[in-house]
Amino acid sequence: MIAGRDASQFETDVMLVELPPSPAILIKCLDEEWQTYQQTYPFLSGPRNDLNESIFDDLPNLVSIRHPKKTCKIERLSASELALRPELEVRVRLLCRDIAIPDKVISDALIHVAWKLRDISPKTRDILTLGCGSGLELILLRAVAPEAYILGLDWRDHLYPGLKERVNAEFLQVNMLDYLAGSSRRFEVVFSNHVLEHLYDPDRALRLIRQQLASGGMMLAGLPLDGQQFPLDTLRSLCSELRRTDLGEFDPGHPWKTTASDLYETVIAAGFGGVRLVQREEHLNFRTRGDERELRAVRARGRQANRVIFEPIRSGLNSVFGRHPPRPLLRLLYGLERRIWFGSNNLKNHTTPEILVVATQRETETVG
C-alpha cells in the first residue's frame, strides 16, 4: 500500500461488478523462432515469406477456445479513488530530470500506469518487473518504493539512455520465461504491464511468476481483455475462416485473448491466493476514457466506418490475390489500420477493456 493511505481508504469509492463466464482464446505455440517472429511482425508481413506463410497456415491448428465456468467480481475504482498523491508525481518528474523523456509521455504514464502501483508499500525491498519497455515503469516503481532493489526484464533493450543509472535499477535482456524458470531469487512484488497477453503459455508463465514471489509477496499485472471483444461465434469464425487481411482484427501478436472469468480462473489455477480484479470505472480502456456504454458506442461507430472504408480494400485484395496478397500491399493495409482510429487493430486497442489482476503468494506455502 502506498504511504499515507490506510487499507480502509481503498474501500471508499469502489463498485463491485459481477461478470458471468465468457470464452477466451489462446494461440499456443512452443516454437521460440515462431514466437519471436510473430511478436516482431504480428501481422505476418515481415521479411521472411517462408515464416509469413507457414505461421499463417498453422494458426488455425494452434488456436484453442478456453471455457471458464465461474462468475467473477471486479472492483471498479472511481476517479476520487484513483487520485494520485502530489508527492508521487513530484518524485516521478524529478527522476525524469536529465532523461530525454517528453512531458506528454510522463503525464500519460502517471495517468495510465501509476494507478496500478497503488497497493505497493513504500517499504518494499525488492521488485521484479517483466517487460519494462522504455523504462517508464522502472521510474514509477522507484518513485513508489524509494529503497527497493528493482530488476527489469525484457527481450529487447528499449530503455531511455541513462535511465538505469538515474533510477538505480538493474536490467537484463533475456527470454523472460527462461529467466523465471532458472531463477532462485524471490521478490516481494512482481509487476507487469501489458505483457501477459503476449504469452503463448500463460498457465505455465503464471506458475513461474508465482514461484518468484516470497511468502506473502504480490503480483500486479495489467492486461487487455481481448477475448471480451468477440462473441464465441465470431471467435470460431475468425479461427476457421481466417484470411491474411483479417489479421488486424485477429491480432496474433496477442496470443492470449483472455476474459475476466478466464483470467481469474487461470490465476487461481496457477496457485495464487487473494486474487482481485480491478478496473478504472470511468476509463475502462487503457487509452480511451469511458465506461462500458461509451466504449460500446465508440466501437459501433468505428466498426461501421471500418466496413465502409476498409472492407472494400480487404475484399479487393482477397478477390485478386486469394489467401496470399503481396507483402507490400499487406504492409500498407496494416499500416493504415494501425494509424486510422477505426482501423481494425487500432479500434480494438482503443476500445478493449483493461484490467489489473492483484494476487498473492500463499504465506503458508514453501516455494522451492
Is residue 201 one of the residues assigned to a domain?
Answer: no
Strand 213-224 to 354-360 pairing: antiparallel
Pick from 58-62, 114-118, 236-240, 286-290: least confident? 236-240
pLDDT tens, position by position, 302-357: 999 999 999 999 999 999 998 788 989 999 999 898 889 999 999 999 999 999 99
The answer to the question of residue 208 being in a domain is no
Do 74 and 111 fall within a single domain? Answer: no
Look up the CATH number of the domain holding residue 157.
3.40.50.150
Whether 337 and 363 share a structural domain: yes
Specify if 299 maps to a domain: yes
Residue 178 forms part of a structural domain: yes
Q: What percentage of the chain exceeds 70 in pLDDT?
A: 92
**Burial annotation 103-130 (CB, 10 A radius, 16+ → b, else e):** eeebeebbebbbbbbbbbeeebebbbbb
Tell me if 248 is assigned to some domain.
Answer: yes
**Is residue 212 a part of any domain in this protein?**
no
Q: Based on the domain organization, do 106 and 179 belong to the same domain?
A: yes
The answer to whether residues 283 and 337 belong to one domain is yes
Return the C-alpha cell found at 12: 471508499
- In terms of domains, do 99 and 2 share one? no
**Dihedral sign computed on CA atoms, order 212, 213, 215, 221:** negative
d(Cα 133, Cα 219) in Å, to the nearest integer?
Answer: 18
Q: Would you say residue 175 lies in a domain? A: yes
The model's pTM: 0.91
What is residue 117's three-state secondary structure? helix
pLDDT tens column, 352-368: 999 999 999 976 554 44
pLDDT for 301 equals 96
User: Which of 148, 170, 193 is where one domain is finished?
Assistant: 193
Same domain, 93 and 53: no
Tell me which residue range forms the domain holding 167.
84-193
pLDDT tens for residues 227-269? 987 666 666 666 677 888 988 888 899 999 999 999 999 999 9
Please report whether residue 266 resides in a domain: yes
